[in-house]
Amino acid sequence: MSGAEGGVSPAAAARPAIGSGRFVPPLLALLCLAVTSVLVAVALGSVRVPPAELWAVLTGDGSPLHRTLVLELRAPRALAAFAVGGLLAVAGALMQVLLRNPLADPYVLGLSGGAAVGALAAMLAGLGAAVVSGFAFAGALLSTVLVFGLAHGTGSWTPTRLLLTGVVVAAGWGAVITFMLAVGPTERLPGMLYWLMGDLTYARTPWVAFAVLGAVCVLVIPLGRSLNVLARGPLQAAALGVPVRALEWSIYVGASLITAVAVTTAGSIGFVGLVVPHMLRLVLGNDQRLILPAAALAGGALLALADTLARTMIAPEQLPVGVITALLGVPTFLYLLYRSR
């Protein structure tokens, strides 16, 4: 607490209004970054659209070709990238609090593995893109229910038990994926590998992911205070009147659904969910009330920028976006970690 608040009564200090005042500058900065990233993603591509033409298109004018390029190809993909990045970062932040483990990411409990098995099975059967998405979502839900049921078991429930169950289920999915890649017909391998590496080509419409991101921000952010207490340990949280068990399960189910939507939209894009929350904690401190909305904005911005690079770096050849998220994220994260000592 800063000195300015010294004279305020403890009850007043706990009021959200005073606490959230501090959050406005970093969130505004991240909002600017987010808007800029989406604008950059819409402005840049392998075909050059001059700024004047871009403005014409955005104001409802412009040539049919430029309208197709910007409105039908770039904009939906940029928005989908932003939404998926935001979802993954929020899900990662939630999992790290839930499992009280810094290595947790949205996929640590095997969800992406389940989704991948579903998606690859649909690809092996030669089904269309919509069916691949549907199978991926079903696989993600199946994995969630499986881990939930097994970790629940008959005995008491702990984050360690959940983590172990999830990691082992993930290993099982990994074996199935490897098997599918080994026996799959050669001509389908590139598509399957691109899905596993994560690629926004699969994003057909951004609106589902965007609606979920909006809903998540509205639903999760009020939980920030309880999450702050939970992060210090379940005993303390229970002593402070937080319904620990109910909160933990709702985080688990919530984070799983969020991740399922993200994976269904664009394949299993790695790295964003693990590293964005950590980066933000290094810079902004570990207050979930700030970290969760910040993760939504920063994760979205990172993925929108990464996808722009993936589309343009060696155009007309296309890279999977997972390559770029790691290439951008690793040095940034290492720098922040080094500086924070």
Partner 1 sequence: MATRHRVLAAVIAGAVAGGFAGSPVTAAERACVTDDADRVVCLDTPPERIIALSPGATELLFAAGAGEQIVGTVSYSDYPPEAKDIPRVGSYKRLDMEVLVAKQPDLVVGWVSGNPTEQLERIDALGVTLYLSEPRDFDDVATTLERLGTLADTSDLAQARAQAFREEIAAIREAHGDADPVRVFYQVWPDPLMTINDDHLISQAAALCGGENVFGDLASLTPRIDEESVLARDPEAIVAGGMGEADATWLDPWRRFDSLEAVRKDNLFFVPPSSIQRPTPRLVEGSRLLCEQLERARERR
What residues numbered 201-230 form the site for partner 1, per CB under 8 A? 201-202, 204
Out of 159, 318, 326, 328, which residue is the one contacting partner 1 (CB under 8 A)?
318
Contact residues for 341 (Cβ-Cβ < 8 A; gap 6+): none
Amino acid at 237: A
- Between 60 and 190, name the residue whose CB sits nearer to partner 1: 190
The nearer residue to partner 1, 209 or 251, going by C-beta atoms, is 209
Residue choice 12, 35, 47, 330 for contact with partner 1 (CB under 8 A)? 47
| From 52, 182, 235, 246, residue interacting with partner 1 (rule: CB under 8 A) | 182
Min separation Cβ 29 and partner 1, Å: 31
Question: What is the C-alpha to C-alpha distance for residues 276 and 296, in angstroms, rounded to an integer?
Answer: 9
Other beta carbons within 10 Å of 222: 10
- Separation of CA 316 from chain center: 27
Q: Could you tell me which residues come within 8 angstroms of residue 178 by beta carbon, excluding any fewer than 6 positions away?
A: none
Are the C-beta atoms of residues 219 and 90 closer than 8 Å to each other? no
4 binds partner 1 (CB under 8 A): no
3-class state of residue 2 by DSSP: coil
Segment near partner 1 (CB under 8 A), from 5-13, 62-70, 112-120, 288-296? 62-70
Omega before 316 within 30 of 0, i.e. cis: yes
Q: Enumerate residues 81-120 that contact partner 1 by CB under 8 A.
A: none
Which stretch, 109-117, 163-171, 285-293, 315-323, contacts partner 1 (CB under 8 A)? Answer: 315-323
The conformational region for residue 74 under phi > 0 = left, psi -120 to 50 = alpha, else beta, is: alpha
CA distances, 297 to each of 130, 180, 266, 294 (Å):
28, 36, 18, 5
244-252: long-range contacts (C-beta < 8 A, 24 or more apart)?
A: 245/157, 247/223, 248/98, 248/159, 251/94, 251/95, 251/97, 251/98, 251/227, 252/98, 252/148, 252/162
Using CB under 8 A as the binding rule, whether residue 332 contacts partner 1 is answered as no
| DSSP assigned state of 69 | I
Asked whether 163 and 101 are in contact (CB, 8 A), the reply is: yes
Among 45, 86, 277, 300, binds partner 1 (CB under 8 A): 45
Give the helix/strand (H/E) hosting 307: helix 288-312
125 forms part of the interface with partner 1 (CB under 8 A):
no
> Of the candidates 185, 241, 246, 341, which one interacts with partner 1 according to CB under 8 A?
185
Give 10 or 316: the residue with its C-beta nearer to partner 1.
316
- Residue 188 touching partner 1 (CB under 8 A): yes
By CB under 8 A, residue 68 contacts partner 1: yes
Least Å distance, CB 69 to partner 1, is: 6
Choices 34-42, 78-86, 108-116, 122-130; region in contact with partner 1 by CB under 8 A:
122-130
The three-class DSSP label of residue 245 is: helix
Take residue 218 and report the two structure tokens written for it. Answer: 């509205």
Q: Is 129 in the site for partner 1 (CB under 8 A)?
A: yes
Cβ proximity to partner 1: between 22 and 67 the closer is 67
Give the range of 53-61, 79-87, 162-170, 198-206 binding partner 1 by CB under 8 A: 198-206
For the CB of residue 46, give the shortest distance to partner 1 in the complex, in Å.
5
CB-nearer residue toward partner 1: 46 or 332: 46
Least Å distance between CB 178 and partner 1? 13
CA distance 225 to 232: 12
**What is the footprint of partner 1 within residues 5-24 (CB under 8 A)?**
none
Which positions touch partner 1 (CB under 8 A)? 45-47, 65, 68-69, 72-74, 123, 126, 128-129, 132, 182-183, 185-188, 190-191, 194, 199, 201-202, 204, 311, 315-318
